């Protein structure tokens, strides 16, 4: 592989799961993408980066893979995984043209845990197993579950002979902070279009008081997703592996897939609002 590889990353998979046509627009500078600003502002408003840093802090001894270059990140991750016991933050894993960065990866022998960290609140009493009354996965958690399902799918292909387990780490609504000014220990710093978190020196898991995050096993829910179908086009539902293959091929070849019309098309991030039609970048119709 080389740097020219057009990888289907977990963020691009998320777009394809929403609408296959979005894969063609993403990353193209001549197309408007309002989500770039929306996600940046949301991260600031919701404290997603702070929650991510908190999750890393409660996994002491972890090694961070900071490199943005895919090949460098993959090489560093592969080197770290030579160890029998290791915890990696932002581990890079690739199989063919599939690529994921795992928030927290823990390896112990042949057992691998992939932990996706989200700044979303969770109540064991209310949200339980993320399923509705009819057994379907709840819509407000489905994108997160699909995200970690894609990560487990790639990881299982990358590590044959290993037992890969999936988890979501969420904000526990049933806990209360026992330390004042906790958020002030995690200062968000903006560097261009990147956010970084500066942790106050001397901050340890013990100094944070009651744990505010909960690690929820989601292999059952992931199994449901991996055994279900995804739309690759209108009236074109395919098994999860086949759909991922179709997404990856289309993106690698820069070929547009047909859109799947739905009630949310009006809010598509690649569509300019009426008052913004003068924008020099192209807008989907």
Separation between Cα atoms, residue 151 and residue 110, nearest integer Å: 17
State which residues form the domain around 45: 10-276
Residue 282 lies in a domain: no
Residue 285 lies in a domain: no
Instruction: Tell which residue, 120, 115, 70, 125, has the closest CA to residue 88.
Output: 115
pLDDT for 50: 81
Average pLDDT over the chain, rounded to whole?
86
Residue 164 lies in a domain: yes
Number of domains observed in the structure of the chain: 1
Residue 30 burial (CB count, 10 A): 8
Separation between Cα atoms, residue 121 and residue 133, nearest integer Å: 20
Instruction: Tell which residue, 154, 139, 145, 125, has the closest CA to residue 221.
Output: 145
Residue 41 lies in a domain: yes
Residue 283 lies in a domain: no
- The pTM of this model reads 0.86
Per-residue pLDDT tens digits for 199-215: 777 777 766 666 789 99
CA distances (Å), origin 73, targets 94, 157, 176: 10, 18, 37
Residue 223 lies in a domain: yes
Residue 2 lies in a domain: no
pLDDT for 106: 98
Instruction: Tell which residue, 130, 111, 109, 107, has the closest CA to residue 217.
Output: 130
Residue 232 lies in a domain: yes
Separation between Cα atoms, residue 253 and residue 36, nearest integer Å: 23
Per-residue pLDDT tens digits for 233-257: 999 999 999 999 999 999 999 999 9
């Amino acid at each position: 592989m080389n740097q020219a590889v057009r990888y289907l990353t977990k963020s691009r998979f998320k777009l394809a799961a929403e609408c296959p046509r979005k894969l063609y627009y993403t990353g193209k500078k001549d197309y408007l993408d309002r989500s770039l600003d929306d996600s940046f502002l949301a991260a600031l408003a919701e404290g997603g980066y702070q929650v991510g840093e908190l999750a890393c802090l409660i996994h002491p001894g972890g090694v961070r893979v900071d490199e943005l270059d895919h090949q460098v990140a993959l090489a560093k991750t592969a080197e770290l995984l030579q160890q029998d016991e290791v915890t990696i933050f932002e581990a890079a894993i690739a199989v063919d043209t599939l690529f994921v960065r795992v928030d927290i990866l823990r390896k112990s022998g042949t057992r691998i845990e992939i932990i996706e960290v989200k700044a979303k609140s969770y109540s064991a009493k209310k949200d339980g197993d993320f399923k509705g009354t009819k057994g379907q996965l709840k819509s407000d958690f489905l994108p997160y579950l699909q995200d970690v399902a894609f990560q487990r799918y790639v990881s299982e292909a990358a590590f044959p002979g290993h037992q890969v387990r999936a988890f979501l780490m969420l904000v526990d609504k049933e806990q209360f902070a026992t330390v004042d000014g906790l958020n002030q220990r995690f200062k968000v710093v903006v560097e261009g279009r990147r956010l970084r978190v500066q942790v106050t020196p001397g901050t340890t898991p013990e100094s944070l008081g009651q744990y505010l995050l909960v690690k929820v096993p989601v292999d059952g829910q992931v199994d449901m997703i991996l055994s279900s179908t995804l739309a690759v086009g209108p009236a074109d539902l395919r098994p999860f592996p086949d759909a991922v293959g179709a997404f990856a091929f289309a993106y690698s070849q820069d070929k547009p897939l047909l859109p799947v019309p739905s009630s949310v098309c009006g809010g598509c991030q690649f569509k300019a609002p009426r008052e913004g039609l003068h924008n020099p970048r192209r807008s989907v119709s």
